C-alpha cells in the first residue's frame, strides 16, 4: 500500500483495486484518494462502503474522490458518502470531483451545510 493512496491495492500499476458488479475503484497517483467508475447501487454498495471507510481511516488532510466516471449512484450511496464526510475530524474533508448531477442536490436536500464535503464540478 502506498502512503499517498489509502486503499488496499493488489498492484501499483493503476489497475482497479476493487470491483463488484459494475463498480471499479482506482488509486489516484500522487494524492490521497480514488477514482470510481461505474454504478453505486445495492449490488456494489458493500465495495463502495468499504472504500469510503478506508478513505476516512487512512490518510490526512484532503481526501479526493473522483466520480467523473460514475454513471449512477443511488441515495443509499450518497448517504454513505455523507456519513463518511461526517466522520472526518480535525478539519479534514472529502473533495468530490465531478459527481453525477443529482449528488450535490441530494447532499443539499438531506445534509444542508455539511462541512466535511466539498463538491467540485
What's the confidence (pLDDT) of residue 58?
80
Total number of domains in the chain: 1
Go through the chain and tell me how many residues it has.
Answer: 121
Is residue 17 within 8 Å of 33, Cβ to Cβ? no
- Convert the pLDDT of each residue in 24-38 to its tens digit: 999 999 888 999 999
pLDDT for residue 74 is more than 70: yes
> Of the candidates 75, 71, 68, which has an alpha carbon nearest to the alpha carbon of residue 95?
68
Q: Is residue 109 part of a domain?
A: yes
Q: Is residue 3 part of a domain?
A: no
C-alpha cell, 23: 463498480
In which domain, by residue range, is 25 found? 18-120
Q: Give the mean pLDDT of 83-94.
A: 92
pLDDT for residue 117 is more than 60: yes
The domain that holds 67 is classified in CATH as 3.30.750.24
Is residue 100 within 8 Å of 73, Cβ to Cβ? yes
What's the confidence (pLDDT) of residue 21?
53
Q: Give the mean pLDDT of 110-115.
A: 92
Q: Is residue 44 part of a domain?
A: yes
Of residues 14 and 82, more confidently modeled: 82
Is residue 82 within 8 Å of 105, Cβ to Cβ? no
C-alpha cell, 55: 478513505
Amino acid at each position: 500500500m502506498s502512503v499517498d493512496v489509502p486503499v488496499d491495492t493488489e498492484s501499483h500499476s493503476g489497475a482497479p483495486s476493487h470491483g463488484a458488479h459494475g463498480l471499479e475503484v482506482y488509486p489516484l497517483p500522487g494524492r490521497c484518494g480514488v477514482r470510481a467508475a461505474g454504478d453505486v447501487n445495492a449490488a456494489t454498495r458493500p465495495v463502495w462502503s468499504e472504500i469510503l471507510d478506508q478513505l476516512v481511516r487512512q490518510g490526512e488532510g484532503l481526501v479526493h474522490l473522483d466520480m467523473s466516471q460514475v454513471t449512477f449512484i443511488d441515495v443509499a450511496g450518497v448517504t454513505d458518502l455523507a456519513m463518511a464526510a461526517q466522520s472526518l475530524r480535525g478539519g479534514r474533508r472529502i473533495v468530490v470531483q465531478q459527481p453525477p448531477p443529482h449528488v450535490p442536490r441530494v447532499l443539499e436536500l438531506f445534509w444542508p451545510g455539511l462541512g466535511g464535503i466539498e463538491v467540485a464540478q
